[in-house]
Amino acid sequence: MVSGLLSLVVWIPIAGLVVLLALPRGQVRAIRVVALVTTLADFLASVWAAAAFDFSQAGTLQLTEQTRWIPSLGVTYHLAADGLSLPLVLLTTILTVLCVIYSWRVDLRPKEYMILFLLLETGMLGVFLALDFFLFYVFWEVSLIPMYFIIGIWGGPRRIYAAIKFFLYTLVGSLAMLLSILIVYFHSSPRTFDMVALFQQKPLAGDLHLAVLAFWGFFLAFAIKVPMFPFHTWLPDAHVEAPTAGSVLLAAILLKLGTYGFVRILLPLLPAAFHALAGMVAVLAAIAAVYGALVAMAQTDLKKLVAYSSVNHMGYVMLGVAAAAAAQGQPALRNAATIALNGATMQMLAHGVITGALFFLVGVIYDYRAHTRGVNDFGGLWERLPVYTGMTMLAMLASLGLPGLMGFVAEFSIFLGAYQIYPAFTVAALAGVVITVAFFLWTIYRIFWGPLNARWAALPDLDGRETWTLAPLAALMIAVGLYPAPLVGTINAAMIEIMSLVR
C-alpha cells in the first residue's frame, strides 16, 4: 500500500494553484490547460486511492495518515477514507474536472476563477477525509471562502447580495460548530480532537443537557449547509446568482458537506442527543421534502426550480438520517435504520450526479444559447436540440426517481428504512415525491414539447465540450441505476460500522 495517497488527493489542487499563481494573466489558454491537467491528475489520484482501498473492508477507515500537526494542542493531521467518504471524494474529483471543462469559455478573470476552483476542491476533499476536528474545521472554512468569491465575482445581477448572504449564513453555522467542538473537547478524557477517539469515548454521554447544547452547535452548522428547512433561504439566492460551475459544485458537493457532517459526526458523537431530537429533525425533513417540491413547482425560473428541488431532495436525506438517529438504543430497528442511512448516503451521491447535471444543463441553455431561464419561454425544443432534450429528460427523470436510474435506488432505500421508524413522516415525504414527479414532467412538457417557439429556431444543439461535460454524469446515472450493488455494498459496510457507534 502506498502511504500518503490521500494527502496527494487533497493537495494536488494546491500544487496546481501555485503553478497558476506563477502564470501571467494573459496566458489564458495555459491557465485553462493547467487547471484541467491539475483536476484530471487529482481525479486519477483519487482513482488510485480507490484502487488501493480494500472494498471488502469498506466499513473500516483505510489509507490512514496520522502525523502531529500542533503538538502543544494535540491536534493531528489525520486523514482516512471509508465507504462513506471514498465515493464522495470520487464524486468531488469528477465534478471538478467537469466544471473546468464546462468553464473553458469563462473569459472574465480566468486566472482567479481557476485558482478559486482549485482551492475549493482542496477544501471539499479535506472535509471528507479529515478525522481531526480542527483539521476538519479548517477545511470546512477553507471551502467557504472560494465559493463566496465565485458567487460574488462571476455571479448574476444580485451576486453581491447572494454572496454575502451565503457567507454570513454559513459562518453562523461554523462558529456555532466551533463552540460545540470546544465543549466536546473539554469534556473528553483524555482530552483529544481526534474524531475516531471521540466517537469511542462519547464524552457527553453522561450529560444529556450539555450534549443537547453541543448538538445544537453542530446541528446549526450542518443544517445551514444542507440546507434544512427553515435555514434554506440562502440557497435559492446563491444558486440563482452563482455561475453555472459554481452552482454545480454548490449543489453537488457543498450541500453534501452538511449531510456528511450529520452522518459522520453527529450520529456517532452525540447519539443520545440526536435521538432525543430526531423527531424534530424528521419533521423538518418532511416539511423540506413537501415544501421544497411545492415551491419548485411554482417556479418559472429553471435554475430556481432546480434549486428548490435540491431542498426537497435533501429533505429525503435528512429523513433517512433522522430515522437512523431515532433507532439509537433499539436493536430491533437497527436494520431498518441501516437501510435508511444507506439510502441517505446513496441520495447524497445521486443528488450530486443528477443535480450537478441539471445545473450544467440549465447553464447550457442560459449561458450560451437562449440567455433566459424562463420555463414558459421555451417550447418544442426537442425538434431543434434532440441531444440536449435527451440529456435533460434523463436527468429530470433520474431526479424524480424513475426506477432504473440512480435516484430511485436512493429514494427507495430511504423510504423503505424510514417507514419502519417514522411511518407518518415517511408518508408525508412521499407526497413530496408525487409533487416532484408532477413538476418535473410538467417542466419537460413546457420546455421540450408543444409547438416550437420561433425565437429558438436557430439554437444549436450541444457542442462537443458540453457533451463531454454531461456524458460521464449521464453514464453514471444509468450505470448505478441498473447495477447499484457494488456501490450499495460499499456504503452498506460503512453504515453498519457507523450504526454500531450509534449506541
Partner 1 sequence: MDLRPLIPELTLGLLALGLVVLDLVAPPEDKRIVGWAAIAGLIVALFPSLLQVSGGSVLAIYDTYAVDPFAGFFKVVAIVSGILVIGAGLEFFRDHPTAHEGDIYVLIVFMVLGLAAMAAAADLIVLFLAIEWVSLISYVLAGSLKADRKSSEAGIKYFFYGAAASAVMLYGFSYLYGAAGTTNLYALAGRLRTAPPGFLVVAAVLILAGLGFKISAVPFHQWTPDVYEGAPTPIVAFLSVASKAAGFAALLRVLYVALPPGAWIGIVAAVATVSMSLGNLLALSQGNIKRMLAYSSIAHAGYMLIGVVAISAAPGVLGSGISALLFYLAGYVFTNVGAFSVAIAVARATGSDAIADYAGLGQRSPLAAAAMGAFMLALTGIPPTALFWGKVFLFSAAIESGFLWLAIVGILNSVVSLYYYVGVIRAMWQMPPAQPATADGRTEGEITPPVIETPLLRAVLAVTTAGAVVPGFFPDALVRLAQTASLLLKL
Q: Contact residues for partner 1 (CB under 8 A)? A: 70-73, 137-138, 141-142, 144-145, 148-149, 152-153, 159-160, 163-164, 167-168, 171-172, 175-176, 178-179, 182-183, 185-186, 191
Q: Rounded to whole angstroms, how far apart are CA atoms 19 and 240?
A: 31
Residues in contact with 56: Cβ distance below 8 Å, sequence separation at least 6, in sequence order: none
CB closer to partner 1 out of 70 and 479: 70
CB of 117 vs partner 1, minimal distance in Å = 16
CB of 94 vs partner 1, minimal distance in Å = 27
Q: Rounded to whole angstroms, how far apart are CA atoms 319 and 501?
A: 19
Is the CB of residue 321 less than 8 Å from the CB of residue 288?
no
CB closer to partner 1 out of 201 and 467: 201
Query: Counting Cβ atoms within 10 Å, is residue 337 exposed (0-12), middle (13-18) or buried (19+)?
Result: buried
CB closer to partner 1 out of 177 and 337: 177
Is the CB of residue 470 less than 8 Å from the CB of residue 63?
no
Helices within 103-194 (DSSP H only): 110-129, 133-142, 144-154, 159-186
Q: Which amino acid is at 193?
A: F
CB of 373 vs partner 1, minimal distance in Å = 23
211: cell is 450534549
CB closer to partner 1 out of 26 and 331: 26
Q: Rounded to whole angstroms, how far apart are CA atoms 445 and 448?
A: 6
Is the CB of residue 398 less than 8 Å from the CB of residue 356?
no
**Residues, the chain, total?**
503
CB closer to partner 1 out of 257 and 495: 257
CB closer to partner 1 out of 171 and 431: 171
CB of 159 vs partner 1, minimal distance in Å = 7
CB of 176 vs partner 1, minimal distance in Å = 7
Neighbours of 248 (CB within 10 A): 29
CB closer to partner 1 out of 120 and 375: 120
26: cell is 494573459
CB of 157 vs partner 1, minimal distance in Å = 13
Dihedral (CA of 456, 461, 466, 469) sign: positive
CB of 109 vs partner 1, minimal distance in Å = 8
CB closer to partner 1 out of 148 and 219: 148
CB of 131 vs partner 1, minimal distance in Å = 17
187: cell is 469534556
